[in-house]
């Protein structure tokens, strides 16, 4: 096979797609606009579907060696009262794996290590695409023009390639929330592997990592034009008095290492995930709110499904139709569920609504929480034809 693919974007989804295509026999180049791979980012908790996708790419052993299973945790109120319990052992029995916590930088390194030598090109910002001879696509990037049989647009929520394919689409919209994320610079003792704490219109969560450090995130209301300010000081003011280990996590964080960004999503679903020989993947296709922790997992599902379709022998055009038929309904359903989860969960701010939410969670049996997690995490990679 001499099919060539150009993957635009060197994030989790793009790297996973490149690995899958390489394993399927394609010659792959990943174009990443960042000139230097700084390996920044906080942490990520991968549900069973994300773990299974990485296993399908041959990265299961590396993930298990680098990650930490998330067995204990749940949802609490700011004073520490339990709202719902997350039992990772139950998930492990039902799905074959618990959630796995890992730093994004470590996951990126695992993915890059699985690429063929020379496949990743940094400092290459894609400025456009156009037709070439035959069915090929010409990709215009920094100081280079490449031709490919397939272009994988994994260029994130603000995807330029998506805008070119669907110029009438309204694009991403802000959800009205800002997320702060960081890794502690030293180990922090925590009672549980994974927690979410819901206040009034706010959320604070943490996950413990294999090296004893922890990742934390905070979701706060924010207007579109809110000044960035001191992110760590903002978190310390907002979450002062919350239960442990929130104060300990913030105290173990360096001010300059807190990431801050406004949350955006594709509230208007796309009519399809491809156009010609360009296919959309990850946030470029279905950027979603973070409330189910499924954004990266859905991108990993995309990567494995795309590679399986292209390896099936039906031809590239038919494979893209198959990919769209398999991925668009599921990923758009998960995106809609994430939006609902935010509105009915941490985004509630009215006192009566918060009290009703908390009462409902306390009264729900643990099996209801498990069933809700299974609804999105129970995914099986497509079998080879």
Helix H, strand E, coil C: the string for 171-183 is CCEEEEEEEEEEE
Q: Using alpha carbons only, give the angle 222, 201, 290 rounded to the nearest 5 degrees.
A: 75
Q: At 158, which CATH number?
A: 3.50.50.60
Dump pLDDT digits (tens) for 307-342: 999 999 999 999 999 999 999 999 999 999 999 999
pLDDT at 12 over 70: yes
Dump pLDDT digits (tens) for 117-158: 999 999 999 998 988 777 899 999 988 999 999 999 999 999
* Percent above pLDDT 90 for the chain: 88
* pLDDT at res. 98: 94
Q: Using an 8 Å Cβ cutoff, are 301 and 49 in contact? A: yes
Categorize the per-residue pLDDT at 226 as very low, low, confident or very high, splitting at 50, 70 and 90. low
* pLDDT at res. 383: 83
Domain range enclosing 141: 4-69+100-171+266-345
Most confident of 98-112, 118-132, 369-383: 98-112
Mean pLDDT of 79-87: 95
| C-alpha closest to that of 271 among 328, 338, 333 | 328
Burial (0-12, 13-18, 19+ Cβ within 10 Å), 60: middle
Residue 38 lies in a domain: yes
* pLDDT at res. 233: 93
Q: Using an 8 Å Cβ cutoff, are 8 and 161 in contact? A: yes
Q: Tell the residue number behind the tokens 């399986």, with chain if given.
A: 308
Residue 257 lies in a domain: no
* pLDDT at res. 227: 58
Residue 359 lies in a domain: no
Maximum distance among all alpha carbons in the chain?
A: 64
Burial (0-12, 13-18, 19+ Cβ within 10 Å), 255: exposed
Distance CA 186, CA 175 (A): 32
- Report the residue count for the chain: 385
Which H helix or E strand runs over 28? Answer: strand 27-32
Task: Fill in the DSSP letter of residue 193.
Answer: S
Categorize the per-residue pLDDT at 366 as very low, low, confident or very high, splitting at 50, 70 and 90. confident
- How many domains are there within the chain? 1
Distance CA 33, CA 333 (A): 30
Residue 142 lies in a domain: yes
Mean pLDDT of 168-175: 96
Residues 6+ apart with CB under 8 A from 269: 286, 328, 332, 335
pLDDT at 52 over 90: yes
Task: Fill in the DSSP letter of residue 4.
Answer: E
Is the bond preceding residue 245 a cis peptide, omega within 30 degrees? yes
Residue 167 lies in a domain: yes
Mean pLDDT of 238-263: 95
Q: Using an 8 Å Cβ cutoff, are 236 and 201 in contact? A: no
* Percent above pLDDT 70 for the chain: 97
pLDDT at 224 over 50: no
Categorize the per-residue pLDDT at 228 as very low, low, confident or very high, splitting at 50, 70 and 90. low
Residue 381 lies in a domain: no
pLDDT at 289 over 50: yes
* pLDDT at res. 41: 75
Q: What is the number of alpha carbons within 13 Å of residue 375 lying toward its C-beta?
A: 14
Average pLDDT across the chain, whole number: 94
pLDDT at 225 over 50: no
Residue 151 lies in a domain: yes
Residues 6+ apart with CB under 8 A from 126: 8, 31, 33, 139, 140, 141, 155, 160, 161
Residue 328 lies in a domain: yes
Mean pLDDT of 70-80: 97
Categorize the per-residue pLDDT at 19 as very low, low, confident or very high, splitting at 50, 70 and 90. very high
* pLDDT at res. 367: 85
């Amino acid at each position: 096979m001499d099919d060539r693919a150009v993957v635009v974007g060197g994030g989790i989804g793009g790297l996973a797609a490149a690995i899958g295509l390489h394993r399927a026999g394609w010659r792959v180049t990943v174009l990443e606009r960042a000139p230097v791979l700084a390996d920044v980012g906080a942490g990520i908790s991968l549900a069973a579907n994300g773990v299974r996708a990485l296993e399908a790419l041959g990265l299961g052993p590396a993930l298990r060696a680098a990650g930490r299973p998330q067995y204990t945790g749940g949802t609490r109120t700011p004073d520490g009262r339990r709202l719902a319990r997350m039992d990772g052992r139950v998930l492990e029995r039902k799905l074959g794996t618990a959630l796995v916590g890992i730093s994004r930088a470590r996951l990126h390194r695992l993915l890059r290590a699985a690429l063929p030598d020379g496949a990743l090109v940094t400092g290459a910002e894609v400025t456009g695409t156009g037709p070439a001879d035959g069915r090929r696509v010409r990709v215009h990037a920094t100081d280079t023009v490449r031709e490919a049989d397939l272009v994988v647009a994994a260029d994130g929520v603000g995807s330029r390639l998506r805008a070119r394919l669907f110029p009438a689409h309204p694009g991403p919209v802000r959800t009205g929330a800002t997320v702060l994320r960081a890794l502690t610079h030293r180990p922090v003792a925590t009672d549980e592997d994974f927690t979410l704490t819901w206040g009034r219109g706010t959320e604070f969560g943490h996950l413990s990592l294999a090296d004893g450090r922890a990742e934390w995130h905070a979701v706060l209301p924010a207007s579109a034009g809110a000044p960035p300010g001191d992110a760590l000081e903002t978190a310390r003011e907002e979450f002062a008095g919350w239960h442990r280990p929130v104060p300990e996590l913030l105290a173990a964080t360096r001010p300059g290492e807190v990431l801050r960004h406004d949350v955006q999503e594709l509230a208007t679903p796309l009519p399809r995930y491809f156009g010609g020989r360009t296919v959309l993947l990850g946030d470029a296709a279905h950027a979603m709110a973070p409330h189910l922790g499924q954004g990266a997992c859905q991108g990993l599902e995309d990567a494995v499904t795309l590679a399986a379709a292209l390896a099936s022998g039906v031809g590239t055009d038919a494979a893209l139709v198959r990919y769209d038929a398999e991925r668009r309904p599921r990923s758009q359903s998960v995106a809609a569920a994430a939006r609902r989860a935010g509105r009915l969960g941490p985004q509630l701010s009215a006192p009566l609504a918060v009290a009703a939410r908390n009462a409902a969670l306390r009264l729900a049996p643990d099996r209801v929480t498990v069933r809700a997690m299974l609804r999105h995490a129970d995914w099986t990679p497509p079998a080879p034809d």
